[in-house]
Structure formats: structure tokens, C-alpha cells
Amino acid sequence: MNTSDLAMLPCTISDVERDTGIAKETLRVWERRYEFPQPQRDPFGERLYPFDQVRQLRLVKRLIDLGFRPGKVLGQSAEELQQLAEHAASNTRGRGRATVSATDLAPYVALCRSHQTDALRRKLSQALLMMGLKAFVLEVMAPLTTLVGDAWACGDIAVHEEHLITEALQTVIRSAIFSLPQPEQPDGAPQPRVLLTTPPQEKHGFGLLMAEALMTADGAHCIALGTQTPLPDIVEAARNQQCDIVALSFSSTMNPRHVLDALKELRTRLPDEIVLWAGGANPALRRRAPGFVTVLALQEVAAALAGWRARGLACLTERPMAVWQANTGLDGSALVE
């Protein structure tokens, strides 16, 4: 049996949950309510999902993340779902601010499909050198990631090809972050210390890496823990590292309820002075994000850091007056006499 045959084998319900991000209980509800998916059963009565149904479920999840209701998409055929996904992906790219079109990104995908790893890394590195780190992340890396994700969801590229381009991007960006000199802050502005990670249920860290690159390029001191950090350890690390901001990334595959639970628990455990930021494609951040967390798109990172610095400068300006008032017992009105 070759690798292609192995990839076509039926999947358990745990495999489907891991591969698509659709919770087991949701799969069972859809099975009863919409009669899809229709799993087979193994000799022990456990569900087994054919490969074609798993591929169809990827498209369903992608469309739901883009705002479609389950009842609208679950009755569609695989061909109809693919057309909807391609149309929705095209509209999403059209609304983005990236100046690089899908046509401009096609050479990267072509190198990935032809498995020219070294050539792909060289092309990415050249683009980064020409554009600079910030522009590269916003105008190449982010839209390329979306393009590749759409292609994978539609079945246009294989999983190993998606991993290939992801690894190439990670290598290029990590090298750029490591070599980036730490800029001096203008006008004595404070430099935020930012802890970046994901909670235990979130294994995807690509969005986190892009945020780290943008923050580092903008002068923040980033402490990256990688993915799947237990919540108590996030709190302990934030305290020990004397962080000002905890930044989390949530992909569309994570259960939205788990996203909200993680954010609530962290806000309860973290000191009030530590700000909580979140980003990513998870629908929980777009539809019902709690007020105690700042939800940011990549394009908003620079403005958010500038706002944090402005508030820090205001505190530094106000603090000497507060100390003087405490030491003298005056409210400052004597200064005008």
C-alpha cells in the first residue's frame, strides 16, 4: 500500500475533528439533523468517515467560517461546495488591503507544487529583502497563507505541499526576526514586553509568528512561547517576564467556546495591568469577543502598539504629579498661586 492509498483510508471521528476543526458533538448533530456526514461503522460500532466526506467537511468548515449557515451548505454536493468556496475565497481576497494579487503569488505556489524547496526559500527571501519585513508580512506572507489555505480546502493542493510552503515561510521569517536590530524608541516612549503563545487546544502558530514579526519590527520586545501553552503557565510566564501584553492567536479550527473560555480564564488570572490581545480567524473573535480583550487584525498591530505607548507616556507624565501630591498633601492648586 503506497502513501496515496493510506491517505484515502477512512478516518475516525477523532481524526475528522483534528483535521477539520469540527467538534465531535457537532458532527453527530449534523448526522442526525441533516443526514450528513454519513459515516460507516467498524466492527466495534465506531464511526468511520470516508475520505470524500472528510474532504467535503473541510469545505463545509471553510464556508461556515466565512459566514455561511450549516443548513445552507450541508445539503450541497461536493462540486457545489467547491464552487461556493472558490467564490467566497475570491470575494475575501478582493476585500483585503493586500496589494499583491493571487496572480503575483502564483509563482510561490508553483514552486511549492514542483517541490523546489530551495528555490522557494530564495524567492521568499528576495521578496523580504526588497520589501522590508512589515510589508512582506502584510502583502505577501498573509495573503499567501490565505491563498494556500483556500487551495487546500478546495482540494487543489496536498497537505504536504501546504506544509512545505509553511515551513519555508517560517524559516525565512524566523531568520529575519533574529537578525532584526532593536530600534530605539522615539521621544522616550516605553517599549512593551509582549508574550506570544496559544492555549493548549490551539496547535496552529502561523498567525502568531506573523504578529511577532510585526511587533518586533515595530520595536516591541517579544517573548515567544510557541503553541499549546497551559493557561497557568501563560500567567506565570507573563509575571516572571514582567510582560505588559499577552497576545494570543486562535485559528478557525479551534472550538469557539474554548476560545472564549480561555480568554475569560486568562483575564481572571492575569494582573489588571497586563493587557490581553487576541487575533486570528476564529469566529468567536469576530462575532462575540468579550470587552476585556482587544481583537486585532495584522494590519492593526502597529496602531495598537502606538496606542499602548501613548498611554504609557501619559502615565509617565502624570506619575510625577501624583507622587508630588502624595508627598506634600496638596492637590496642585498651590502651583498657580
User: What is the residue extent of each domain of the chain?
Assistant: 1-92, 96-179, 184-317
The band of 243, judged by pLDDT with boundaries at 50, 70 and 90, is: very high
The band of 2, judged by pLDDT with boundaries at 50, 70 and 90, is: very low
Residue bearing the bigger pLDDT, 317 or 69: 69
Helix (H) or strand (E) holding 127: helix 117-131
pLDDT at 332: 38
User: Cβ distance 12 to 2 under 8 Å?
Assistant: no
Q: For residue 323, what are the CA distances in angstroms to 123, 129, 189, 272, 273?
A: 56, 48, 20, 21, 19
Quote the pTM value: 0.74
Residue 336 has pLDDT above 60, yes or no: no
Domain 1-92 identical in fold to domain 184-317 = no
Q: What is the mean pLDDT of the chain?
A: 83
Least confident range from 202-206, 230-234, 315-319: namely 315-319
Residue 314 has pLDDT above 70, yes or no: no
Cis peptide before 37 (omega within 30 of 0): yes
The band of 317, judged by pLDDT with boundaries at 50, 70 and 90, is: low
Residue 329 has pLDDT above 50, yes or no: no
In CATH terms, the fold of domain 96-179 is 1.10.1240
Q: Does domain 1-92 have CATH number 3.40.50.1820?
A: no
The band of 264, judged by pLDDT with boundaries at 50, 70 and 90, is: very high
Q: Rounded to 5 degrees, what angle do the CA atoms 245, 301, 181 make?
A: 80
pLDDT at 283: 84
- Please enumerate in sequence order all residues whose Cβ is within 8 A of that of 22, keeping only pairs 6 or more positions apart, or say none: 16, 57, 60, 61
Average pLDDT over residues 243-251: 95
Q: Which CATH architecture has domain 184-317?
A: 3-Layer(aba) Sandwich (3.40)
Can you tell me whether residue 195 is helix, strand or coil? strand
Q: For residue 82, what are the CA distances in angstroms to 37, 58, 65, 282?
A: 16, 10, 15, 21
Percent of the chain past pLDDT 70, that is, above it, reads 83
Residue bearing the bigger pLDDT, 19 or 189: 19
pLDDT digits (tens, 9 = 90+) for 118-163: 999 999 999 999 999 999 999 999 999 888 877 777 767 877 888 8
pLDDT digits (tens, 9 = 90+) for 38-93: 999 999 999 999 988 988 898 888 788 777 888 888 888 888 887 887 776 666 55
pLDDT at 122: 95
Average pLDDT over residues 258-287: 93
pLDDT at 188: 59
